[in-house]
């Protein structure tokens, strides 16, 4: 008889994700920093940080900020008045 208890699928997936994350942290920085000033890197940097960068960033962030504001408002409205007056949670 083996003392090894069977792993759940969730535990196995979690361990695989951790291993992949560690591998990515170890391998990717070396690959990304391979040529910081090569012509390809300069072209990508120039196309990414062009004059439209701030507009694209705003288009990405404004819906997130509105969603967070609405979620906060919904949370506050859902609290009983006494809890809001005390400043405590439910």
Model pLDDT for residues 33-70, shown as the tens digit of each residue:
667 778 887 888 888 788 888 898 999 999 999 999 99
Q: How many domains does the chain have?
A: 2
> Do 73 and 56 sit in the same domain of this protein?
yes
> Do 55 and 90 sit in the same domain of this protein?
yes
Residue 2 lies in a domain: no
**Structure confidence at residue 80 (pLDDT):** 73
Distances (CA, A) of 52 to 18, 46, 47: 36, 11, 9
* Region of residue 71 (phi > 0: left; psi between -120 and 50: alpha; otherwise: beta): alpha
> Would you state the structure tokens that stand for residue 55, as one six-digit string?
């507009």
| Domain span including residue 43 | 7-49
Query: In angstroms, rounded to a whole number, what is the distance separating the alpha carbons of residues 44 and 17?
Result: 30
Confidence of residue 84 (pLDDT cuts 50, 70, 90): low
Residue 1 lies in a domain: no
> Do 72 and 45 sit in the same domain of this protein?
no
> Do 44 and 17 sit in the same domain of this protein?
yes
> Do 72 and 43 sit in the same domain of this protein?
no
């Amino acid at each position: 008889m083996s003392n090894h208890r069977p792993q759940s699928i969730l535990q196995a997936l979690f361990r695989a994700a951790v291993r992949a994350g560690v591998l990515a942290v170890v391998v990717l920085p070396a690959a990304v920093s391979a040529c910081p000033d090569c012509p390809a890197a300069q072209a990508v940097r120039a196309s990414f940080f062009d004059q439209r960068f701030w507009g694209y960033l705003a288009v990405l962030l404004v819906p997130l900020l509105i969603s967070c504001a609405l979620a906060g408002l919904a949370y506050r409205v859902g609290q009983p008045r006494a809890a809001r007056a005390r400043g405590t949670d439910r």
